[in-house]
Amino acid sequence: MTVDRNCFQEGDLALLQDRKGRRHLLTLLDGGVFHSHQGRLDHERLIGHSVGGWYRTDRGHVLLAVRPTLGDFVRQMPRGPQIIYPKDLGLIIMLADIFPGATVIEGGLGSGSLTSALLRAVGVHGRVINYEIEESWLPKAKANIQKVVGDAANLEIKIGDIYEGISERNIDRVVLDVPEPWQAVSTVGDCLLMGGILLSFLPTVIQVQKLVLALEADTRFQLIETTETLLRTWHVTERSVRPDHRMVAHSGFLITAVRCQPRVIGTPSDPSVEPPAESVAGNEEDDADGRDE
């Protein structure tokens, strides 16, 4: 049977938005009812009807119903520990270069926000293996993941302390959202394949410095970079165009590093190991148009 994807089906997620922009997330159920101060709306009015349609409550208020994005879902999903928000999820996928078919080790399941984004990015031919120390988070996280990614047969959750060791080898990517990632540097170095990427999300700069120093001391990690992103939305109408008053400024830092052969003969800045000038490829800052990134 082909499903008309223009219409909601039972079990689908729907995002209702009212006239003032307030949003409500729901799972459409047979016999389900949505209630708000704007009135009630039976789920059956949406099931089999248009996504992107306008629906009237019993009190006469009109609601717009769309499918939530992954970002909409994680902002509203039930949670235990602090989640990673869409602002960072997108950049994590890019900076860690998560690709379809990749095998990713993840440290810390929490509420499953980052796991959901990783599963989407690796696709059905990839794998996510998650180490989580606290078993009690599993039911909530699994329910959240199920709602946005479905039955993820390519997700394996291991209950254990990632600092104590990762048993897998030749792994493409490691993504950590645990409080003391410097304790995992050695085991991450053992599990990543050459050229594999580590990415760690950290909320404070003290943690960032500890991790970066540990990565440098290990000698198997190069191209160590720290990034943060600030996200500002804009108010655009006929009469005024300006940034919104509120923005998502700080959430956390993203630290990336690439697994390389151990550094044994000094650092690249050591003149004794500098390659001859002609073998150095031009770098972006020397580009003729002088654009800053």
Q: How many CB atoms lie within 10 A of CB 203?
A: 14
Residue spans of beta strands (DSSP E) within 37-178:
39-42, 53-56, 62-66, 103-107, 127-132, 155-159, 171-176
Instruction: Based on the shown chain and the rule CB under 6 A, indicate whether residue 134 belongs to the binding site for ligand SAM.
Output: yes
Sequence-ordered list of residues with C-beta below 8 angstroms from that of 292, at least 6 positions apart, any chain = none
Q: Does 182 bind ligand SAM (CB under 6 A)?
A: no
| 13 is an interface residue for ligand SAM by CB under 6 A | no
86 binds ligand SAM (CB under 6 A): no
> Among residue numbers 113 through 132, which ones bind ligand SAM (CB under 6 A)?
113-114, 131-132
Helix (H, G, I), strand (E, B) or coil at 11: coil
Residue number, 107 or 196, with CB nearest to ligand SAM: 107
Contact between 74 and 89 under an 8 Å Cβ cutoff? The reply is yes
Tokens linked to 192: 């990543």
Rule CB under 6 A: choose which of 84, 202, 215, 257 binds ligand SAM: 84
Among 6, 9, 69, 82, binds ligand SAM (CB under 6 A): 82
The DSSP bridge pattern shows strands 103-107 and 127-132 to be parallel
Q: Is there a contact between 220 and 196 (Cβ–Cβ < 8 Å)?
A: no
Told to check if 198 binds ligand SAM by CB under 6 A, we report: no
Q: Shortest approach of ligand SAM to residue 181 CB, angstroms? A: 9
Give whichever of 63 and 141 is closer to ligand SAM, judged by the CB atom: 141
Among 161, 225, 244, 274, binds ligand SAM (CB under 6 A): 161
Question: Taking CB under 6 A as the rule, does residue 178 contact ligand SAM?
Answer: yes
Please identify which residue in 28, 47, 65, 109 interacts with ligand SAM, judged by CB under 6 A: 109
> Quick one: which of 94, 89, 198 has its CA closest to 148?
89
Residue 254 beta carbon to ligand SAM: minimum distance, rounded to whole angstroms: 13
Instruction: Output the smallest distance, CB 178 to ligand SAM, in A.
Output: 4
CA distance 274 to 288: 24
Report the C-alpha gap between 230 and 85 in whole angstroms: 12
181 contacts ligand SAM (rule: CB under 6 A): no
Is residue 88 involved in binding ligand SAM (CB under 6 A)?
Answer: no
Query: Which is it for strands 192-202 and 221-227: parallel, antiparallel or unpaired?
Result: unpaired
CB-nearer residue toward ligand SAM: 53 or 81: 81
Of 43, 177, 199, 252, the one binding ligand SAM (CB under 6 A) is 177
Give residue number: closest CB to ligand SAM: 110
For 216, other C-beta atoms within 10 Å of its C-beta total: 15
Binding site for ligand SAM (CB under 6 A): 81-84, 107-114, 131-134, 137, 161-163, 177-179
